[in-house]
Amino acid sequence: MDAYLISTVLISLAAIFGYINVKYLKLPNTIGLMIITIVFTFIVILLSYFDPTLLNFEKEIISKIDFRKVLLDEMLSFLLFAGALHTNFEQLKVQRWPILLFSTLGVLTSTFLVGGVMYFVLQALGFPVNFIYCLLFGALISPTDPIAVLGILKKAGVPKKLETKIVGESLFNDGVGVVVFLTIFQIAKSGTENVTTFDVIKLFGQEVIGGIGLGLIIGWITYRLLKSIDDFDIEVIITLAAVMGGTVLAQKLHLSAPLAMVTAGLIVGNDTIRETAMSETTERYVDKFWELIDILLNAILFVLIGMEMLVLVIEGKYIVAGLLAIPIVLLCRYISLFLPVKLFEKKLDFVPNTGLIMTWGGLRGGISIALALGLSQDMYRDLFLVITYIVVIFSIVVQGLTVGNLVKKLKKEDS
Phi-psi region of 350 (alpha: psi -120 to 50; beta: other; left: phi over 0): beta
- The string of DSSP codes covering 90-141 is HHHHHTHHHHHHHHTHHHHHHHHHHHHHHHHHHHHTT----HHHHHHHHHHH
Look at residue 362 in the predicted model and tell me its pLDDT: 86
Residue 268 near residue 221, CB atoms below 8 Å: no
> Could you tell me how many residues make up the chain?
415
State how far the Cα of 43 lies from the Cα of 308, in Å rounded to an integer. Answer: 15
- Residue 196, helix vs strand vs coil: coil
Q: What is the CATH number of domain 64-414?
A: 1.20.1530.20
Question: Residue 369 gets which letter from DSSP?
Answer: H
Phi-psi region of 179 (alpha: psi -120 to 50; beta: other; left: phi over 0): alpha
Where does the chain hold its CATH 1.20.1530.20 domain(s)? 64-414
Torsions phi, psi for 255 (to 5 deg): -110, 165
Distance separating the N- and C-terminal Cα atoms of the chain:
58
Look at residue 110 in the predicted model and tell me its pLDDT: 95
State how far the Cα of 181 lies from the Cα of 201, in Å rounded to an integer. Answer: 14
**CB neighbour burial string for 151-167, b if at least 16 within 10 angstroms, e if fewer:** ebbeebebeebbbbbbb
Q: 10: which residues sit within 8 A by CB, 6+ positions away?
A: 61, 300, 303, 304
Residue 375 identity (one-letter amino acid) = L
Put simply, whether the predicted model's pTM sits higher than 0.85 gets the answer: yes
Mutual angle of helices 160-190 and 354-361, in 10-degree steps: 60
- Residue 192, helix vs strand vs coil: helix
Look at residue 190 in the predicted model and tell me its pLDDT: 76
State how far the Cα of 315 lies from the Cα of 236, in Å rounded to an integer. Answer: 49
Look at residue 34 in the predicted model and tell me its pLDDT: 87
Residue 170 near residue 146, CB atoms below 8 Å: yes
pLDDT along the chain (415 residues), means of 10: 88 95 89 90 92 90 88 88 84 83 92 96 96 95 74 65 79 85 86 69 83 96 95 96 96 92 93 89 95 90 88 91 97 94 82 88 88 91 95 91 84 71
